[in-house]
Structure 1
Amino acid sequence: MKYAKPHLNYNAQLDLLRQRGLSIGDERAAVRALRRIGYYRLSAYTYVLRRAAAPGPSSERLAPSDQFIEGATLDQAVALHDFDDRLRGVLLSGLERIEVAMRVQIGYQLGKTDPHGHLDPAHLDAARCGQLARTRGSDTGRTLHAEWLRRFDALLDDARTEEFVRHFVRKYDGRLPIWAATEIMTFGCLTGLYNLLSSRDAAAIALALEVKNRDVVHGWLRALNVLRNHCAHNARVWNRPTVYPPRIPPPGLTHARLHHLPDADNNRVYVLAAIIGHLLVCLDPTTNWPRQLATVVKKFPAVSDLSPGSSMGFPDGWQQLELWNYEPT
């Protein structure tokens, strides 16, 4: 089907929303909101204010009606957008700290094994390194380590003008030791390398994170990498399903501050937020991040039947949990 919807100016966009039952309120403020946010971006936040679709003949899930529920307002959609913006900011601040800390952890631990251990499967987990890499369900024809090296080499090429990279090219053979190499690695690259570490090195890092299973840590990093990209690119996060739902370990495998997670929905942002909080407490006991996150979530806007529980997976009584009352040391 050919797309045929015409361009609409801001006033026409407001008229369309009004025709569909959305209360606009102050017209000038509404136009300012559209100029600041954009109609299409704002539609992700008006979407939850639309009426449910009439039941169809099959069990297929139908998109909501174009019509809005009674009492829905543009101000509510803007409030949801601005809440999401604040949430995204605090999540990203935590993820950035985790990214830097994982550079330190991997560089320090693998560096003890060999300064160039990331380049040689002999210093990693040979079995994992030798597995075939898959992209979107298809074999790449490369091993996991070869695929990781391909991505790392691309990052190294992008960083070729960095002074510290030029130093290693001029003075040595251009091979960066792991403690320098981690500085050019993305969160995704770090996650891939953690998966390839030897059992000893991966377990040592997992122990520092108070987790007794390396695969749980890798799954967490994989899920957090996607969230990090959503945050960095200003995508909606507050009610977005998780792309790679993280494993929730049983109580015996992690700290008591996460023992409530088996009852949580690992397809919602709450579990990811709890993982971020836990990791930051382990990596930096002086952190105040859990309380910062709690402060943002407590200001969730009063909109229809929405709540941090229904939209984000926050459990009942979350404000009383140990994690969100962590006292920096």
Structure 2
Amino acid sequence: MNGYQSFFRDPSTRVYREGATFGDILALYEFDVELREIMLDALLKVEAKIRSALAYEFCAAYGESRSKYLDARCYATSKGAKRVLPKLLNMLDYIANKDTSHEYLAYYRRAYKNVPLWVAVNAMTFGQISKMLTALRDNEKAKIAKRFGVGNPKELSSFIRVLALYRNVCAHGERLFSHRCHVEIPDTALHAKLGIEKIGPDYACGKVDVFSAVITLRYLLRDDEFKTFKAKLVKCVNGYLSLDESIGEERLLEAMGFTAEWKK
């Protein structure tokens, strides 16, 4: 409960606000648990798609031999790629040649003397998938971005990197609703369309908060998938606000980075 108490205390005195109860803290905690479940379900759909797309495009370009995805020459030479490549190749080498915790990897080693990337990706975390996407050459990135309907490959890389971080928050049971990410998503057409306020040149929300993840999901999920996700999200937020008024809608939406018009 420690992560939720602060929302019911005076920030200057750390004394609980008048009328605050343990039930208020519990209600906020339970809201966050439900929010994590809804977000994680949507994030796993994106994760599955990006695994498949990444493996397909890499193998289409370089073949299925593990020697290819372990070869630094099959990756970009940009600063971002060089930054992640050493650890990425070490991780891929471990999966391809040493990992004994996944039976399907051992099977492919024994039966085919090879662990193709479309098998290896299943043993990779979302964060590792994100790093591999960063390391790919522009041609493969562009083809993957096109699969998601995203015109800019760099935009897709930023989207996936942010979602990987939020996936960790959800999977590890950390407080989600007020989380702020250390990586921001790029400005999108949705930021402008929603009329999000700007503070100087920067949007006031939808960049490093939970709303940034929701905007990203709007781009990366199919329309029907996002419609289902949004319905669950609206029900979750409305349900909490109708159950407990201790925080209030304005303060809750501010903590989540949601605009007043977020449902649009």
TM-score by length of 2: 0.84
> Which residue identity lines up with residue 166 of structure 2 in the other structure?
L
Cα distance between partner residues in 1 of 2:221 and 2:7:
32
What is the aligned partner in structure 2 of residue 237 from structure 1? 176
User: Unaligned stretches of 5+ in structure 2?
Assistant: 198-203
Per-residue deviation, 1:277: 3.4
Cα distance between partner residues in 1 of 2:99 and 2:142:
30
What is the aligned partner in structure 2 of residue 298 from structure 1? 238
Secondary structure of 1:318's aligned partner? coil
> Which residue identity lines up with residue 160 of structure 2 in the other structure?
L
What is the aligned partner in structure 2 of residue 45 from structure 1? 4
- Matches for 1:1-329 after TM superposition, within 5 Å: 42-53=1-12, 65-114=13-62, 115-116=64-65, 117-127=68-78, 131=82, 133=83, 144-156=84-96, 159-173=99-113, 175-249=114-188, 251=189, 259-260=193-194, 263=197, 265=205, 266-281=207-222, 288-301=228-241, 302-305=245-248, 307=250, 308-319=252-263, 321=264
CA-based RMSD of the aligned residues comes to 2.5
TM-score by length of 1: 0.69
What is the aligned partner in structure 2 of residue 21 from structure 1? none
Cα distance between partner residues in 1 of 2:85 and 2:19:
56
Which is greater in Rg? 1
Aligned length: 250
Structure 1 residues 104 and 153: CA distance shift in structure 2, 3 A: same
> Relative contact order: is structure 1 or structure 2 higher (C-alpha 8 Å, sep ≥ 6)?
2
Q: Deviations over 1:174-230 (max 9, x none)?
A: x42111111111101110111111211101111222222222211121111111111
Per-residue deviation, 1:293: 1.9
Structure 1 residues 258 and 119: CA distance shift in structure 2, 3 A: farther
Q: Deviations over 1:149-177 (max 9, x none)?
A: 1123345577424332122211333x421
- Structure having the higher helix fraction is 2
Q: Deviations over 1:240-292 (max 9, x none)?
A: 2122122223x2xxxx698438645112211112212331126x768622222
Alignment check: 8 A CA contact 1:257 1:278 kept:
no
Cα distance between partner residues in 2 of 1:247 and 1:294:
25
Cα distance between partner residues in 1 of 2:153 and 2:19:
49
Secondary structure of 1:240's aligned partner? coil
Alignment check: 8 A CA contact 2:145 2:153 kept:
yes
Secondary structure of 2:222's aligned partner? helix
Cα distance between partner residues in 2 of 1:160 and 1:199:
33
Structure 1 residues 272 and 161: CA distance shift in structure 2, 3 A: closer
Cα distance between partner residues in 2 of 1:185 and 1:98:
14
Structure 1 residues 289 and 306: CA distance shift in structure 2, 3 A: closer
User: Unaligned stretches of 5+ in structure 1?
Assistant: 1-41, 54-64, 134-143, 322-329
Alignment check: 8 A CA contact 1:156 1:184 kept:
no
Alignment check: 8 A CA contact 2:81 2:136 kept:
no
Secondary structure of 1:288's aligned partner? helix
Cα distance between partner residues in 1 of 2:85 and 2:195:
33
Secondary structure of 2:221's aligned partner? helix
Structure 1 residues 96 and 158: CA distance shift in structure 2, 3 A: farther
Cα distance between partner residues in 1 of 2:108 and 2:89:
18
Per-residue deviation, 1:146: 2.1
Alignment check: 8 A CA contact 1:224 1:272 kept:
yes
What is the aligned partner in structure 1 of residue 201 from structure 2? none
